[in-house]
Structure 1
Amino acid sequence: MLSFPRHFPYLLAASVLLVWSQAQARTDHRFFIDQYRGPAQCIGCHSTAFSNTPAISLKDIHHSVHYRFESKLPDNYQHNEAGAVVEYATSGLLWKMCGLPSTVPQFNWLSNIKDLPETQHVDKPSGCGTCHAGIGLKPYTALGQSKPAASEDNNIDCLVCHALNYDRKYFTATLFGQPELDAKGQPIILSVPRINGVLNWSVYTDAARTVGSTNASTCLRCHADLSDSKVPADDHHYGSCQRGVVFAADQDVHASAGMSCSKCHDAGQHKMKRPLNNDLSAHDVVIDHQMCTDCHGQNPHDFETYNEHAGFVSCTACHARTEKTAAIRDFAVVVPPDPNNPLSIYSVGISDATPDYKVSFAWFDGSVGPENKPRGARGDGKSRIYPYKPVGMNLPRDADGNVIPPRWDSFFKTGNMMDALAQGRNEYAALWTPEIGAKYGLPPVPGEFDHFAASESGFSISHGITRKNAYKCASCHNPAGVMDFEKLGYSEEKSESLENLLGLPPVGDLNGDGKIDAFDLLIFQNYWHGNQDAMLKALKNNQ
């Protein structure tokens, strides 16, 4: 008599469903998962390649930038004040004074900021670990290790990137009914309940049944947040997927076409690719050309003059349009919690979004100087003009101007920036050694707080891509154009020539301001681009 495994009916149904759905974007996992048991369950199937997914391993994930949170920068990328190349063993979120929060994730990893007694989970978690592809424990790289321990196989959260319906919660781990403490005596916070050392993955069974390929909504779980205080990206953004992404159907032509992030960024084996930019921190694969050309080619325009510009003007300079920005974060300003929101916390000041805020432009040759300033120059044969969003921060400093990293969980709870700075400085002093400083490029331990002082930088703009509203000739080549040619290295005489290159348009006063100028030409150009197919056809018929 034939005998079958007890799961045979489920396996049979799943096999039928898999065959049916091979051509589908997502495979229905409801018949595969009776109860979620963590990453080992996922890898049990996905160590084998399917028609729509390659074979993977937990090692692939452990060595991805979303887990490592660090990588080595490209050769000849970073330069010091004297212009000399600076090489560090590694770069990335773990071992740096991280941009917007201006602190070190090593001691701002994951903590409980606020909790409501009626819930069993942590209601207000905080820290860099909330966007790590693990369940809350630091990766092996944070410990200075070159490879993960066997126990890290369970420190992978497949659902945060792959589950459509996933509300990641955090829980205080317990031992014999008491909070489980780390080496510093702090409660351990994990996204999976852990009781007496046993992880209960089953709380996410419903979420696990919705897994599939990543899409924009899963990526935006982390990349749409501007900072730990979760400022809405709709109101404040940097035009970059790093923080406050502009990837929505009404803001980006690729999003409106239904493209997923992985269409451009997937490099295989759970690795992501991205082009060189000035704010490169950690990466899997860096490509040395504009990613746009991978799909659109080197000459994507019908108008040859535009194609000629592509040799020295980046695609994003014309096509990446953003209308809002968080221009400055002011650490000297304490914003109190909303009294009507029990989970509201203290935050620092942040400027309002301004619809008329303009991007700046600079030459970029693929390398950076101090504070991520793009390097490059007109006529060097390798630079292009790229757009940037200037970003300012009013930072706490010692008497010599060195930045002091705060301990953010302290500030979020109390609003006392001075206490947060004292705690952060002490944590930093315990972390820093001359060897670590040299290896990772961490500056020496700062002195005590003395003053706040502004720091300016610029973030690259890579999303918010538009075709219809892209800059036209008259957007730049008029006296009130978007580019400052003198700042780009052109002489005063050449700048004036470029500004008046188009001359007075023979199109009349189209905007009704009583003048015939470059703005009228811009109106005509916009009309031309919106109707160029019909106009070109009409011209061809009249030849």
Structure 2
Amino acid sequence: MVGHNWAGVLQPSDATKPAQPGGCVQCHPGLGAKPNPVEKLSQADEENVDCLLCHAPGYRRTVVKQGDKFEIRPAEGVDVLAAARAVRRPTDDMCQRCHLGAGGGPNAKHGVAPTSPAVDVHLAKGIGCVDCHPTKNHRTAGGADIKANEAPEVAVACSGCHAPDVHRGADAATLTRHAARLACQTCHIPAIARDPKFPTVVRRDWTKPVLNEKTGLYGPANQLASGVRPEYRWWNRKMTVPPEPLGDRADPAAKIYPWKRATYTVVGDARTGKPVFIKAGLYAVKGDPLAAARKGAEDTKQEFSGAVKGVEESMLFSLNHQVAPKAQALACDACHRAGGALDFEALGYPPERVKALTAPRR
């Protein structure tokens, strides 16, 4: 588990490297003050918003230290007045200021990356982030698998644009029937990170710090991959905690969706085997998991033995971006054969039904 700094300036151990802004505040659209919990939001929280972060082209900001406090300031060279005069509906570039960094970089988690139109049909059609993620009173609708969803009453789904009878041709009726239990993404996102320029994280190890020679800061060891095949699970658009999709074959609200599984080796307590919150800024500067765990446990008042070991966890990420051209969608025999894309047994089908579903198609 990573206990992030809210705001900070990270000075690499190599003094020849410049100090860099750090902390969650870089992306949270506030003016620097840490917001209250959702159930305790005040008028001050409502006013603690940097509108330019989402609405001004070319706007950038940084973290500076004033005395013993950290403040948000416009980045060097940014004309705030010009930025304010240029405000507009958010563009993809504005959304990507923050979302490209989720999980450490482009495509690290769900498939958000500035990929090519050949990889994403929506990008090819000029469809932007806010076309699928609408807002109401400045609350943005997100995916149902994320913890912080500002507008849970709004379902971000393919059906928001595509009618149930979208399929054409001789197989249209069959495909429409399948859509009752198969999410569109299952057939139309056959793999994630199909663009080799933007591989995705499939394994991350926080016990093995890696020095970034360019920045002088440390990060976890990452295993990246391209063309990653999804894992398929039933999902009724509700999640457990820790996050796992809810639903099964008997659930009428569930459909089969594609997911990306990532495995993490986190810093854990050697005595209890439980994950320890680490101080992300200290980890980045020192590359010392033990020191980061000590400080993280101290800050969060977590019991800690003083010794660490790796603890393995995994997480599933829903796949909704990078929808492939229809010629690349899964064909019938991609699933309906022995060893096909769908593991029907794992999805809860009885043996006789599995045999029928995997029999050679005529």
Same fold (TM over 0.5): yes
Q: Could you tell me which residue of structure 2 aligns to residue 139 of structure 1?
A: 35
Cα deviation, residue 449, structure 1: 3.6
Show the counterpart of 2:196. none
Q: Relative contact order: is structure 1 or structure 2 higher (C-alpha 8 Å, sep ≥ 6)?
A: 2
Deviations 1:233-291 (A, max 9, x none): 2xx53334xxx4466533321121111211121132111113423xx211121247562
- Alignment correspondent of 1:272: 140
The 3-state SS of whatever aligns with 1:349 is: strand
Which residues in structure 2 correspond to 1:517-536 (within 5 Å)? none
CA-CA distance at 1:123 after TM superposition:
4.7
The whole-number CA distance in structure 1 between the counterparts of 2:139 and 2:263 is 31
Counterpart Cα distance in 2 of 1:123 and 1:325: 28
- Secondary structure of 1:326's match? strand
Partner-residue secondary structure (3-state), 2:135:
strand
Corresponding residue for 1:104? 3
CA gap of 1:290–1:191, structure 2 versus 1, over 3 A, is: closer
Gap change, CA 1:369 and 1:387, over 3 Å in 2: same
Moved more, 387-396 or 320-329: 320-329
Alignment of 1:397-476 (within 5 A): 397-398=268-269, 399-429=271-301, 445=303, 447-468=305-326, 469-476=328-335
Indicate if the aligned counterparts of 2:338 and 2:359 stay in contact, CA closer than 8 A. Answer: yes
Q: Does 1:214 align with 2:129?
A: no
**Partner Cα distance (2:299, 2:133) in 1:** 36
Asked whether the 8 Å contact 1:275–1:287 carries over to 2, the reply is: no
Following TM superposition, by how much is the alpha carbon of 1:202 offset from its aligned partner in structure 2, in angstroms?
Answer: 8.1
Deviation of 1:445 after TM superposition, in Å, equals: 4.5
Contact 1:397 1:403 in 2 (8 A): yes
**Is 1:304 aligned to 2:200, yes or no?**
no
- Compare 415-424 and 461-470 and name the one that shifted more: 461-470
- State the superposition RMSD in angstroms: 2.8
Quick one: which amino acid aligns to residue 11 of structure 2?
A: K
Which residue identity lines up with residue 285 of structure 1 in the other structure? Answer: A
Aligned with residue 101 of structure 2, among 199, 205, 225: 225
- 1:250 is the counterpart of 2:104: no
The one-letter code matched in structure 2 to 1:130 is: Q
CA distance in 1, matches of 2:205, 2:243: 20
Matched, 1:190 2:86: no
1:246 to 1:491, Cα distance in 2 relative to 1, 3 A:
farther
Q: Which runs of 5+ in 1 are unaligned?
A: 1-101, 174-178, 182-186, 194-199, 430-443, 504-543
SS in 1 for 2:310: strand
Query: In the alignment, which of 26, 33, 37 is matched to residue 130 of structure 1?
Result: 26
Aligned length: 350
288 and 499 in structure 1: CA distance in 2 versus 1, 3 angstrom threshold: farther
Aligned to 1:326: 201
Alignment of 1:57-136 (within 5 A): 102-105=1-4, 108-114=5-11, 123-136=19-32
The CA distance in 1 between the partners of 2:113 and 2:78, in whole Å, is: 32
Distance in 2, Cα, partners of 1:139 & 1:103: 19
* Structure (1 or 2) with the greater strand fraction: 2
The one-letter amino acid paired with 1:460 is S
2:290 partner letter: M
Spell out, residue by residue over 1:23-66, the C-alpha distance to the aligned partner (whole angstroms, 9 max, x if none).
xxxxxxxxxxxxxxxxxxxxxxxxxxxxxxxxxxxxxxxxxxxx
Which of 141, 145, 168 is the equivalent residue of 2:61?
A: 168
- Distance change >3 Å, CA 118–CA 419, structure 1 → 2: closer
C-alpha contact (below 8 Å) 2:133/2:156 kept by paired residues: no
Gap change, CA 1:449 and 1:460, over 3 Å in 2: farther
**What is the CA–CA distance in structure 1 between the aligned matches of 2:342 and 2:89, rounded to whole Å?**
40
Q: Which runs of 5+ in 2 are unaligned?
A: 194-198
Q: Of the two, which has the highest radius of gyration?
A: 1
Please report how far the alpha carbon of residue 140 of structure 1 lies from its aligned counterpart in structure 2 after TM superposition: 3.1
- TM-score by structure 1 length? 0.59
Match of 2:242 in 1: 371
**Cα shift at 1:446:** 5.2
C-alpha distance in structure 2 between counterparts of 1:118 and 1:333, whole Å:
24
Once the two structures are aligned, what percentage of the paired residues are identical?
25
Superposed structure 1 runs of 4+ greater than 6 Å apart: 115-119
Aligned to 1:317: 186
Cα separation, 1, equivalents of 2:155 and 2:9: 42
Deviations 1:140-190 (A, max 9, x none): 338x7331328x73x3211211112123233323xxxxx2x2xxxxx3131
